[in-house]
Chain A
Amino acid sequence: MNCSRIHKHLIFYIEGSLDDETVKSVEEHLRLCPYCTAIADKLKLSLGVIEQEKEVLADIEFADKVLIRMHSEKRPVSAPILSIFKYVAAAAVIIFGVFTGIKLGKVAAGSAEYTSGALSDEEYYLYDMYQEPIESFFLLNHDDNE
């Protein structure tokens, strides 16, 4: 067996899952090849890490830590109420917006009160011609020139 063939078998050799004949060939090669032996040793050490990491140290506080986290995450029970409030607030904003829009629409369309000249205080401020007397002044002047 040459080196590249040995490399393909190494992990299975270390794991012990090769048949006897292949094990014999691998061992024969490793006896004669220091390079493959060095690779095999390092591979063995890397896979040996698994056995070390499998050892789990006792942790008497683990359950407490989990339960504390669980209780602390449970505390904001008001979360569903908050989320309901969020929707109610959104609905209120929309209703207010629609209502204001209707009101403004009425003013912009020129309601009966406006045509009769009887503007309420509110409408006075909303009707921009009354807020821009300079503009009206020029408009009036322009009419005079004509």
Chain B
Amino acid sequence: MTNNRNNKEEHLIEKLIAGDEPAYRQIIDNYRESVVRLCRGFTGTPDDAEDLAQDVFLEVFRSISRFRRQSSISTWIYRIAVNKTQNFVRDRKKRAYTNYAPEPDKESSEDEGSAADKKLMQKEHAEALHNALESLPAGQRTAFVLSKYEDLKYTEIAEIMKISVSAVESLLFRAKKNLQEKLFNYYRKNLE
């Protein structure tokens, strides 16, 4: 079964290297949701996530000939996505982007009564979460996003981040502790 999957993956990689467009589309089809989700976790905004996801696939297609096949293609794509999003967050911080200001979701056109209040509340909580996430050290943030947004197992996260499983456990524990502290401080100020 695994051999069959490996053969299929190998075949797909060969097609990608040859510049086969249906193969490009298949890769996008297989991994778009995961990549967009991951980008959303890191950036916090749907538009940035979409742009970044496009960048990730462009990078995948451009560098497929350099893929050494020491891991599965999904791990390799996750690595590219993590690198791209880390760079994006770092650049955003450099541009003195101190406060995360989420853009409204495109589908949020209802602007009356409780629906609007709900959206506003949701926006506030999203803002609190992403501000807290952005303030985490890169390793903790990566482990947290891979775990919570992609529901990946510790072993998968370890492979993507090229660290041990125990290091992933430790990163996740510290990430949650720090997140809790930051969110607690944020809400305490609001409640006072």
On A, residues with C-beta under 8 Å from B are 7-8, 10-12, 15, 35, 38-39, 42-43, 45-50, 52-54, 56-57, 59, 62-63, 65-67, 69-70, 73
Closest to B28 in A: A63
A73 to B54 alpha-carbon distance, docked (Å): 13
Given A38-B191, A49-B129, A50-B149, are A66 and B58 neighbors across the interface (CB < 8 Å)?
Answer: yes
Chain A nearest CB from B133 CB (Å) reads: 10
**In the assembly, what is the distance between CA of A15 and CA of B126, in Å?**
17
Q: How far is the CB of B45 from chain A (nearest CB, A)?
A: 10
Give B residues with C-beta under 8 Å from A: 21, 24-25, 28-29, 32-33, 36-37, 40-41, 50, 53-54, 57-58, 61-62, 107, 121-122, 125-126, 128-129, 132, 148-149, 176-177, 179-180, 183-184, 187-188, 190-191
Q: Which of A43, A54, A67 contacts B183 (CB 8 A)?
A: A43
A42 lies within 8 A of B148 (CB):
no
Given A50-B129, A50-B148, A53-B149, check contact A10 B180 (CB 8 Å): yes
Which residues from chain B contact A48 at a C-beta distance below 8 Å?
125
Question: Which of the listed residues A10, A38, A46, A59 has the most CB atoms from chain B within 10 Å of its own CB?
Answer: A46
Besides A8-B180, A43-B183, A67-B21, 16 new A-B residue pairs in contact (Cβ under 8 A), listed by A number: A7-B184, A11-B176, A39-B184, A42-B125, A42-B190, A43-B184, A46-B125, A46-B129, A46-B132, A47-B129, A49-B129, A54-B37, A62-B32, A62-B53, A67-B25, A69-B54
Q: Which secondary structure dominates where chain B touches chain A?
A: helix
Question: Do B183 and A46 touch (CB < 8 A)?
Answer: yes
